[in-house]
Structure 1
Amino acid sequence: MKTILKLFTMLFCVVSFAQTTVKGKITDNTGLPLPGANIVVVGTTSGTITDFDGNYTLAVDQDPPFSIRISYTGFEPQTVEVTSNNQTIDVSLKEGNTLDEVVISASRTPERIFESPVTVERFGLKEIKNTASADFYGGLESLKGVDINTNSLTFKSINTRGFATFANTRFVQLVDGMDNSAPALNFPLGNLLGMTETDVLSVELLPGASSALYGANAFNGILFMRSKSPFDHSGISGYIKRGITSQEAAGNNDYTDLGIRMAYKFSEKFAAKVNFGYLKGTDWYATNYDDKDMPGGTRESNINYDGVNTYGDNVSTNIHVASGGLGIIPNVSVSRTGYREEDLTDYSAESVKADWGLYFRPWENDFEIQYVGKVGTGSTIYQGAQRYRIDGFSLQQHKIEVKNDDFFVRGYITSDKAGDTYVMDVAAPNILQAWKSHEDWFGDYIQTYAGAVLGGASEAQAHVAARQVAEQGRLEPGTPEFQEVFDQVTSDTNFLTGSAFKDNSKIYHADANYNLGDLVDFAEIQVGGSHRTYRLNSFGTIYTDATGPITYSELGLYTQLQRSLELNENLELKLTGSLRYDKSELFDAFLSPRISAGLTVNENHNFRASFQTGFRNPDTQSLYIGLETALGTLIGGAPDNGDRYVRDYGVSPFAQNNLGVPSTISQAASAAYNNSLFASIGTGLSNHSGGNGSNYIANSDYVKPEQVSSFELGYRGKIQDFIIDASAYYSSYQDFLAGEGVIAPFYGDVSNFDLTGYDPNNPATVAGLNSDTQQILAALQNGDFQAYQTNTNSSEKVNSYGAAIQVSTKVFDGFDLSANYTYAKLDFDVKKNPDFRTNFNTPEHKVKASFGKTDLFKNVGFNVSWRWSDNYFWEASFGDGDVPAFHVLDAQVNFRIPGLKSAFKVGATNLLQDEYFTAFGTGYIGSQYYVSWTINNL
């Protein structure tokens, strides 16, 4: 390694000529060393950090006297004067007030969290090292107001203040300023392209609308992850975690997580770093076999069974209609026998990621040029409209940035590739179809049923016999015959015959910011902007881009003014105003203002109030998706989208024989927006007593941007030994974006749908209706329609409100105790809008608490974390269902061995083994037990 570093030094010709050397040791007030403490020459960027034992050596090209500043997160900084060469300076830092911690995200400029104009959560190095979760990303769940929905072992979705699914397009995740969203999906795949744990410097989270500074997608909140600079944190560090995951359905399975960070500061001008992370385990098995339509139903009790985690049994038909109306065949629907999810995946979970960076400071000051590259690939389970087996899905990013303390200009590209990803609930029906066509299967069923009844069998016995005959020769999982068809279907990108997900989409993004603080005295003023271009290229497997990529662009400009006014020696008022202009080429321009005021009282109390606005351009899927699912075809709401999605549909024998309709009809998905009825019409007609039928006409509107206005009040402060952080908000959404269930009949013009004189209990009244209405009623009765889930805007206002409070203190001579409570409530008349889905998907009440101590004994610490979630209703395109209340206990014990520069941790998540789930349709979350070894992580 030393030889390699020497070669790099020669290559870049950067030699440092140190004239003054300072060394020493940094400890806390109990004498424990503080590894990773920063020592910086005041007025310069020259500095170093302490090693694992708290020791440091600082060599600078500067003659004494000069001052150095020593700082460490959670401790009060000290400034010491250097008066001679080879001076030894040992410093003991006093543990500080957590309100003094510095955040950047709230105002795009460093400020104390105490004075932040809006609510902000921080997860620093201390919290990362002490988290009881299996990794730092999962540790974010301890923050107040934060929801983490577990999709699978390696894919967790972060959200705040409700309105989210796993496809969480209302929440932004940034790593060193780069959006982690996968271009094809428009949301981040957890930490797939995130950070290795040893490279994390800090994590900040802004809940609520943040569009004024961060643009369209920062609608419900934004997560900032910052990495360590190789100028400040050099050396080799790493970790390895080994353990097991334990689940009743999956049993006990090995789990490995490791990462390594290599960084070197060649000189004051040049530094570089490389990170690598690897995780392998077994995913949480999804084994919910409840019938979607008949709670508690099974295949044995329901001939039309459709299980939550069984696929292929959604292929269903009315056997009376399919038989041509034979009197001996009952008017009931029957489904094919599907496959369980465990038959369609091996549940292996894997993540491989790497990033690298070159950092250049040509004038040895804060001006820096950097190139950063990232790549990540993995295998996991993703639940969106369907259940996806993400296999070899990859993301990569490349960024060039120029910055100093006052400005930055960056540009980056994000691209993805689908790998061998496939859709499990598309694969299963096509496996069945490849073995025996649906037409032949139902033909065998009907023929056998009729023969059994004629032979004297009861209806129940006839159904059993019919299924047995229809299933003869079925492809069984584990056999070579099944595997051959499975491989064929999961590699075929035509969803009519296959299930492979193909994609190579890209995002091109550039943004800039300038802080005019050095040029203007009366206030701190910032200006900035961004530009983004989407290039969607799913080859027709997600989007309606079968004939070629879809591209469109967005532009944003913003400014912010911040001014502090000292009212008297005990009162300081901080005013902040922000305004952002955004324009998508698809929509009209929008302005997003934000104003806030913070009043500091006696340096211990801060009261804040803010009015924030935000808007959200419809995401790529809301605009251009074209995807067939069990709930119907998902179709985006861009005006030019539906006409690109055209499918052929078979028509019932009744319509062919009595209405003269051809056996096959081609329908464009634009029918969902110009010739559709609400999906609830089937229920509504049975209770209809005549009158105009216009209240059943859907014809969803094409999408437009969603808007939010949010009022927030908050308090941060210290009362005796208690740190309190509390906030409350009320948000009002206009043009709320969500899905709407509609059906488009294959024949009949819905604009003429008129039920005047219709009596559902008297079929003779149909003859008095107009021709279009008669045709539409026939289509509804005979299943001659296509169901769609449209993307549209609600004409109704959607409101939500909530509050959160956290109290932290020290008890029993230095033990850390913290507890928080979060309340969230949806204010929307669901009964009045049964076809509109808000996807609020968050519990009304959440409670979290932690208890621990970093130095229980010398070099030994521990932490225990507990959280409880109220029950709530999960609503998403895959399916809807209740999520029962749950509570989870995580715990860890850690100990340090300074001589080995190592920290060891023994931990467990879900220690009480009460399995739970956070979303309808996912696997139950079991327990993780692990031992970790971290070395030289400063």
Structure 2
Amino acid sequence: MRTITLVLMLLLGVVTTAQTTISGKVVDDNNQPIPGANIALQGASVGTVTDFDGLFTLTLEETPPFTIIVSSVGFEAATVNITSSSSDLTITLKEGTELDEVVISASRTPERVFESPVSVERFGIKKIKTTPAADFYDGLESLKGVDINTNSLTFKSVNTRGFATFANNRFVQLVDGMDNAAPALNFVLGNLLGMTELDVNSIELLPGASSALYGANAFNGILFMTSKNPFDHQGISAYVKGGITSQDAAGDNEYYDYGIRIAHAFSDKFAGKVNFSYLRGTDWFATNEISVSEGATGTRLDPNYDGLNVYGDEVSTNIRGVGVSLVNLGILPSGAENLLPNEEVSRTGYLESDLNNYDAESIKFDAALHYRPFANDLEIIYLGKVGKGTTIYQGANRYSIRNFFLQQHKLEIKNNNFFVRGYITDEDAGDSYDSRFTGININRLWKDDRTWFGEYAGAFVQATLAGQLPEQAHLLARQTADTGRLIPGTQEFANAFQQVINDPDLATGSKFQDATQLRHADVNYNFSHITSDFVDIQVGGSFREYKLNSSGTIFTDFDGPIRYSEYGAYTQLQKKLADDRLKITGSIRYDKSELFDGNFSPRLSLGYTAGANRNHNIRLSLQTGFRNPTTQDLYIGLNVGRAILVGSAPDNLDRDIRSFDLSGGGQTITGQSSINLAGRQAYENSYSLSSALAFGASQDPNDLVIANPGIVQPEKVTAAEVGYRGKVDRLVIDLSVYYNSYKDFIAEEAVLVPLYGEVGDNSLSLAALANGDAEVYQAYTNSNVDIKSYGATIGLDTKILGNFDLGVNYTFSKQDFDKSQDPDFRTSFNTPEHKVKASFGHTNLFKNFGFNTSWRWSDAYFWEASFGNGNVPSFNVLDGQINYTIPKLKATLKAGATNVLGDEYFTAFGTGFIGSQYYIGISINNL
């Protein structure tokens, strides 16, 4: 027994002596603590992070000597040899540059920005904390080459390298590996289902095509947001922020934002975290009333006035045609129709502000459980995220997104060499509605179109017979037809409004109804730990399934959900040569959708590090990208007022069947009062809209051009890029030049479908056009026109006047497209040719005090989108912030303002003008 006891004591002593505890502090060159610095055992995944005061404690099952690596974003990593247990280590990190930061996205493996084979931008913790923007997501606008189009206060659309609307399906956003695009919309609603500022660990952005590693739709670029691991970042942190938004149209309105993060490691095997944030404010009012109707004078006195942010006035008809019908019915005497002008008259609309209270709200919650069954790098993760928000989305119409709900659930198994993950995305449109159809159907609920136009025509005739001039007769006719009209602010209007926005039938309502789902799985294995002596090898693959479920209100899924799937597989080889100065990366991916043929996406890049101090890197890449047609490109079947949107999946062409009333002339010709047409007609029996408008003016059949657009196919791009990164003394330089060539460019084409006759017959189809028996369709197709784009970026960062940070970058973007080759084709490039951005600040101007300012200028550009086309004037914006750290409270006070100059601007035609935002906030224990 005594022997056994002795043996046990000896074993315990061995175990005890095998555990080494070290502790200390990590500081910068100014002896200021560095919170959130990583301390890790060299060659292993064991480690910890410093707290708010830069303090750390690390216990290892290792006996000295051994080496630890200490690193933090914005600093050069330090290697420290440990020879014994210690409790008073002080480790000083030298400030580095952006080139020293580590990214994962460019090659799916850790590497310095300096050595990345393609362009990459990183928005790290330091930039997040010092951004003058009111929200970290808005701060992305400071990155070079990045465009952020402001849809509303809570919905910003990120894009790079042109060709984007708010429905930006050429750009992918991944949050902890999950695509957080709304499945039915096929694009990201900003940061609605993103993450809170407290939980952001890193943000990386790859501009340009990335399909070789990330598959379909990683076409213009891809944004990666990764959260903090609860094993490494523990404790309770919180922030509170408040202020006002100021706009000429909306006045001054309160704005507040707060959040909390709780994370705890219960053992070396089990950890968890929860995050919650809430934001509320008032959106930017959209009050542009310019008329967008053909031939309009641009004022509300125009009989056919159709205001940009006015809804209900899209409904119009030829008033003489109404007179003909009234004469045929005996309501007006014979010949009275000749007193009516041969012109279009529109119904009176409602201002957008009458139909939207402009509330802006964002609620985010997520919870994660992390399990390390062997207390090593193997980790099993469950993550659940929910987001609920109220915002405005501008697509074909302006949509009031109210209580929109999006949730994601992920299960992932990973270690340093592989991951396997699966997740589901589920959306619910909540109480969302279409502003345009709200105005249209409130009008119709009060008085149907036939009655309103009939009263208008009758009053016009009477006024004319009484000797009134046409202008006076139009005013009197509108007043007569509008007698008793529902007035905003009255209970009668409120009742009608509620009835319409809760009705999903666009013939009578405007509710946006959807419960679409996306299921996705992907896997990656990095064999570098096995094959590094020869070449680094990675392989991976993915599978995705869509389940469209709008009950026939958006898609043609009136008879049940529509499902389709796609999959892909890829491999990448990477090798360093010539004393590790030359880095060669090659990858290829194969993707297949069940609706289309398969597609290969190769990429080849070369990077060479030059200079005696290896301070210069030159890179060259040639890669391809592709994007599959979106769910809407394929299966939409939606009347948006100005046109009927019809997707061109082969099985969708005959799913979209609509009934149209024929005019009196049509009934005489066809013997029918109505006719049913399938969406197929837009692709097989249509005229180009521009030629139909020309025919309407000239009545010359030779002006008509048969459209018959082709069925939509995947879009492809070939992208070439040359870049340079380097450091000359204190100046960091990062520049790139790219050239993109597109094939089968996907876009929408407006066509006119005659309700009877065959295009080109010069008889029935012409009669249909003459009688107004035709319908505008918006077809999803590919262009045969050559489309190219090219551009360049350059960024310069340095320290001046001691330790002040100065950064300047310039972006040039240009498309090469001859619109005369296809007048009805719209590329939606929507990008200024020139952009300049600059920042100036100091993280520690004096003890615990810092500041930062940012300025950006945008050249004027032309905005093209289905809602409207128009010029976006040049603008410049100045933002600024000051911050003060209170070490004893582990807190930071921050006050800032955006658009300090107060010059209101907009980034897209049809949106509200962007005013100023002023805020003050405090964050506590935010490592």
Q: Bin the TM-score by the shorter chain.
A: over 0.9
Q: Say which of 744, 749, 761 aligns to 2:753.
A: 744
State how far apart, in whole Å, the 2-side matches of 1:724 and 1:632 are.
Answer: 49
State how far apart, in whole Å, the 2-side matches of 1:84 and 1:422 are.
Answer: 67
CA shift for structure 1 position 776: 1.6
State how far apart, in whole Å, the 1-side matches of 2:642 and 2:717 are.
Answer: 29
CA shift for structure 1 position 120: 0.5
Moved more, 630-639 or 419-428: 630-639
CA shift for structure 1 position 48: 1.9
Partner amino acid, structure 1, of 2:540: G
Output one character per residue of 1:887-936: Cα deviation in whole Å (capped at 9) or x when no partner. Answer: 00000001100011000111000000110000011000011000010110
State how far apart, in whole Å, the 1-side matches of 2:746 and 2:313 are.
Answer: 31
Q: Which residue of 1 aligns with 2:12?
A: none
Q: Say which of 434, 446, 449 aligns to 1:438.
A: 449
Partner amino acid, structure 2, of 1:469: T
Q: Which residue of 1 aligns with 2:421?
A: 410
State how far apart, in whole Å, the 1-side matches of 2:61 and 2:920 are.
Answer: 44
TM-score by length of 1: 0.94
CA shift for structure 1 position 219: 0.7
Q: Which residue of 1 aligns with 2:76?
A: 76
Partner amino acid, structure 2, of 1:927: S
CA contact (8 A) 1:511 1:530 kept: yes
Matched residue SS, 2:263: strand
CA shift for structure 1 position 687: 8.2
CA contact (8 A) 1:871 1:882 kept: yes
Residues 1:554 and 2:598 are matched in the alignment: no
CA shift for structure 1 position 332: 1.0
Q: Which residue of 2 aligns with 1:595?
A: 604
Q: Which residue of 2 aligns with 1:664?
A: 674
Partner amino acid, structure 2, of 1:559: T
Q: Which residue of 2 aligns with 1:677?
A: 687
Q: Say which of 577, 585, 603 aligns to 2:586.
A: 577
CA shift for structure 1 position 720: 2.5
State how far apart, in whole Å, the 1-side matches of 2:849 and 2:455 are.
Answer: 70
CA shift for structure 1 position 19: 4.0
Where do residues 412-811 of structure 1 align in structure 2 (5 Å cutoff)? 412-520=423-531, 521-566=533-578, 572-602=581-611, 603-657=614-668, 659-685=669-695, 696-750=705-759, 753=760, 772-811=761-800
CA shift for structure 1 position 688: 7.2
Residues 1:334 and 2:342 are matched in the alignment: no
State how far apart, in whole Å, the 1-side matches of 2:477 and 2:768 are.
Answer: 28
State how far apart, in whole Å, the 2-side matches of 1:139 and 1:249 are.
Answer: 25
Q: Which residue of 2 aligns with 1:858?
A: 847
Residues 1:239 and 2:239 are matched in the alignment: yes
CA shift for structure 1 position 411: 0.3
Q: Which residue of 2 aligns with 1:91?
A: 91
CA contact (8 A) 1:894 1:906 kept: yes
State how far apart, in whole Å, the 2-side matches of 1:226 and 1:238 are.
Answer: 19
CA contact (8 A) 1:312 1:336 kept: yes
Q: Which residue of 1 aligns with 2:324?
A: 324
CA contact (8 A) 1:115 1:606 kept: yes
Matched residue SS, 1:514: strand
Residues 1:819 and 2:808 are matched in the alignment: yes
CA contact (8 A) 1:265 1:271 kept: yes
CA shift for structure 1 position 456: 1.4
State how far apart, in whole Å, the 2-side matches of 1:687 and 1:249 are.
Answer: 39
Report the count of equivalent residues: 898
Matched residue SS, 2:303: coil
| Cα 1:314–1:537 shift into 2, 3 Å | same
CA contact (8 A) 2:804 2:842 kept: yes
Q: Which residue of 2 aligns with 1:906?
A: 895
CA shift for structure 1 position 297: 4.2
CA shift for structure 1 position 294: 6.8
Where do residues 341-360 of structure 1 align in structure 2 (5 Å cutoff)? 341-360=352-371
CA contact (8 A) 1:510 1:532 kept: yes
Q: CA RMSD in A?
A: 1.6
Output one character per residue of 1:344-374: Cα deviation in whole Å (capped at 9) or x when no partner. Answer: 1110000001111111111121111111000
| Cα 1:454–1:349 shift into 2, 3 Å | same
Partner amino acid, structure 2, of 1:729: Y
CA shift for structure 1 position 86: 4.7
| Cα 1:689–1:468 shift into 2, 3 Å | closer
Matched residue SS, 1:481: helix
CA contact (8 A) 1:153 1:349 kept: yes
TM-score by length of 2: 0.95
State how far apart, in whole Å, the 2-side matches of 1:414 and 1:382 are.
Answer: 20
CA shift for structure 1 position 526: 0.5
Moved more, 512-521 or 305-314: 512-521
Partner amino acid, structure 2, of 1:914: D
Matched residue SS, 1:680: helix
Residues 1:889 and 2:878 are matched in the alignment: yes
Matched residue SS, 1:388: strand
State how far apart, in whole Å, the 1-side matches of 2:159 and 2:710 are.
Answer: 28
CA shift for structure 1 position 627: 1.2
State how far apart, in whole Å, the 2-side matches of 1:79 and 1:720 are.
Answer: 24
CA contact (8 A) 1:290 1:296 kept: no
CA contact (8 A) 1:46 1:268 kept: no
State how far apart, in whole Å, the 2-side matches of 1:214 and 1:18 are.
Answer: 44
State how far apart, in whole Å, the 1-side matches of 2:582 and 2:195 are.
Answer: 37
Q: Which residue of 1 aligns with 2:287?
A: 287
CA contact (8 A) 2:18 2:63 kept: no
State how far apart, in whole Å, the 2-side matches of 1:300 and 1:606 are.
Answer: 60
CA shift for structure 1 position 689: 10
State how far apart, in whole Å, the 2-side matches of 1:437 and 1:92 are.
Answer: 76
Matched residue SS, 2:444: helix
Matched residue SS, 2:493: helix
| Cα 1:296–1:135 shift into 2, 3 Å | farther
Matched residue SS, 2:578: strand
Output one character per residue of 1:550-589: Cα deviation in whole Å (capped at 9) or x when no partner. Answer: 100001000011111116xxx8211111100000000001
Moved more, 389-398 or 297-306: 297-306
CA contact (8 A) 2:183 2:425 kept: yes
Partner amino acid, structure 1, of 2:813: A
Matched residue SS, 2:766: helix
CA contact (8 A) 2:701 2:762 kept: no
Q: Which residue of 1 aligns with 2:204?
A: 204
State how far apart, in whole Å, the 2-side matches of 1:549 and 1:533 are.
Answer: 12
Partner amino acid, structure 2, of 1:375: V
Q: Which residue of 2 aligns with 1:103?
A: 103
Partner amino acid, structure 1, of 2:695: L
CA shift for structure 1 position 84: 3.1
Output one character per residue of 1:65-87: Cα deviation in whole Å (capped at 9) or x when no partner. Answer: 43322111111122223333353
Matched residue SS, 1:644: coil
Partner amino acid, structure 1, of 2:869: D
State how far apart, in whole Å, the 2-side matches of 1:474 and 1:297 are.
Answer: 25
State how far apart, in whole Å, the 2-side matches of 1:240 and 1:306 are.
Answer: 43
CA contact (8 A) 1:810 1:817 kept: yes
Partner amino acid, structure 2, of 1:220: N
State how far apart, in whole Å, the 1-side matches of 2:699 and 2:440 are.
Answer: 40
Partner amino acid, structure 1, of 2:783: S
Unpaired stretches in structure 1, ≥5 consecutive residues: 1-15, 754-771
CA shift for structure 1 position 59: 3.1
Unpaired stretches in structure 2, ≥5 consecutive residues: 1-15, 326-336
CA shift for structure 1 position 61: 4.1
Where do residues 110-129 of structure 1 align in structure 2 (5 Å cutoff)? 110-129=110-129
Q: Say which of 360, 367, 389 aligns to 1:378.
A: 389
Partner amino acid, structure 2, of 1:717: G
Q: Which residue of 1 aligns with 2:131?
A: 131
Matched residue SS, 1:840: coil
Q: Which residue of 2 aligns with 1:149?
A: 149
| Cα 1:507–1:81 shift into 2, 3 Å | same
Output one character per residue of 1:811-866: Cα deviation in whole Å (capped at 9) or x when no partner. Answer: 00010100000011010011221100111110010000000010111100110100
